[in-house]
Amino acid sequence: MPQVKIFSGSESRYLAEKIAAAYGTKLGDLTISRFSDGEIGVHYNESVRGAEVFIVLSTFPPADNLMELMLLVDAAKRASAHKVIVVMPYYGYARQDRKDKPRVAIGSKVVANAIQSVGADRLMTCDLHAGQIQGFFDIPVDHLDGSAIFVPYLRSLNLGEDLIFASPDVGGVVRTRAFAKNFGAEMVVCDKHRKRANEIASMQVIGDVEGMDVVLVDDMVDTAGTITKAAELLKDKGAKTVRAIATHPVLSGPAYDRIQSSVLEELVVSDTIPLKQESSKIKVLSFADLFARAINNVVTHESISSLFI
């Protein structure tokens, strides 16, 4: 069996160290340097010849993360790694997954092309904004499901028969229905209309939440406008409590202030993206064990779907 080596890009080291520890190893030794003009250079300080190399790096801003990832893959391939597997907990540009108006780029396809062009053999990611992004790849994609960490946490809250799930928009119905089905609960939908990106024009609730403990389900929270407006609307409709779960805490702009001043009991997120600041309303659950188990199953040729709830 080939030797397994786990390496990390600059911005995901906080998570990569936990993944390596959960797998039972240490991060591989590499150097990432920058020229005075910002140009990136990478160098593996140990041999990767014949090894299965796992590179952990999410592609959240800055854009340098994507360039750094491509250089790391290229260097490993040129150093005769047996296989190079990209572990991308957060897949950047996933929101640009289609042409929803004329003359726009499909950013998630551009990222897919970039990853494949440098020779990656496999991609491992979690809770893509749109599952069909897997179809942009001609290499295997392991699409992990965040419910594996969120469902046990929700069960620990013992919310009982008053539990109901809500999708903050029509696009998240499939994801929310999966949670509701797991708990044998009902679901409602917050139908929103946008004027432009990150700006909501109107929103309405489809379904009854009177006297219920509502859990909003989303794949990411960016400016937190949608999730906090939905929470406020659900409370106005008679919800007893409202909390939210979202895999990727992008949390840009006014997000932290909006969450802190919102009616949300809590926002439960994962560590695919590091928090920029602490908040008493934000709880972070770690994906490290899930990714470590997935890496093990890839190496031993076992089922990845066995990790799903």
Q: What is the pLDDT of residues 43-86, one digit of tens each?
A: 999 999 999 999 999 999 888 999 999 999 999 999 999 999 99
Average pLDDT over residues 295-304: 95
Q: What does the pLDDT read at residue 197?
A: 62
> Given pLDDT bands bounded at 50, 70 and 90, which one contains residue 223?
very high
pLDDT for residue 204: 87
Q: Is the pLDDT of residue 87 over 80?
A: yes
DSSP state of 184: T
Segment 94-114 mean pLDDT: 93
| pLDDT at residue 287, rounded to an integer | 97
Give the residue with greater pLDDT, 238 vs 195: 238
Per-residue pLDDT at 193: 66
pLDDT at 29 > cutoff 90:
yes
Q: Which one of 5, 18, 83, 192 is the catalytic residue?
A: 192
Active site residue 192: yes
**Weakest-pLDDT range from 50-59, 135-144, 192-201:** 192-201
% the chain with pLDDT above 90:
87
Mean pLDDT value across residues 130-153: 95
Confidence at residue 246, expressed as pLDDT on a 0 to 100 scale? 97
Choose the weakest-confidence range: 33-37, 199-203, 239-243, 296-300: 199-203
The pLDDT, as a whole number, for residue 201 is 58
pLDDT at 62: 82
Residue 184: closest CA among 157, 204, 155, 211 = 155
For the sheet containing 52-56, what is the strand order?
4-8, 52-56, 83-88, 122-126, 141-144
Percent of the chain at pLDDT > 70 equals: 96
Indicate if 147-285 has the same CATH topology as 4-145+288-307: yes
Enumerate the domain spans of the chain.
Answer: 4-145+288-307, 147-285
Pairwise CA distance, residues 273 & 292, whole Å: 17
Tokens encoding 278 = 């602490």
Q: How many angstroms separate the Cα of 175 from the Cα of each of 83, 172, 231?
A: 32, 5, 18
Q: How far apart are CA 212 and CA 293, in angstroms?
A: 35
Query: Rounded mean pLDDT of the chain?
Result: 94
Angle (CA) 116-119-125 rounded to 5° is 55
Mean pLDDT to the nearest integer, 161-181? 92
CATH topology of domain 4-145+288-307: Rossmann fold (3.40.50)
| pTM of the complete model | 0.92
Using alpha carbons only, give the angle 186, 187, 189 rounded to the nearest 5 degrees. Answer: 160
Write down the residue that tokens 């250089």 correspond to.
71
Mean pLDDT along residues 26-47: 96
Does CATH place domain 147-285 in 3.40.50.2020? yes
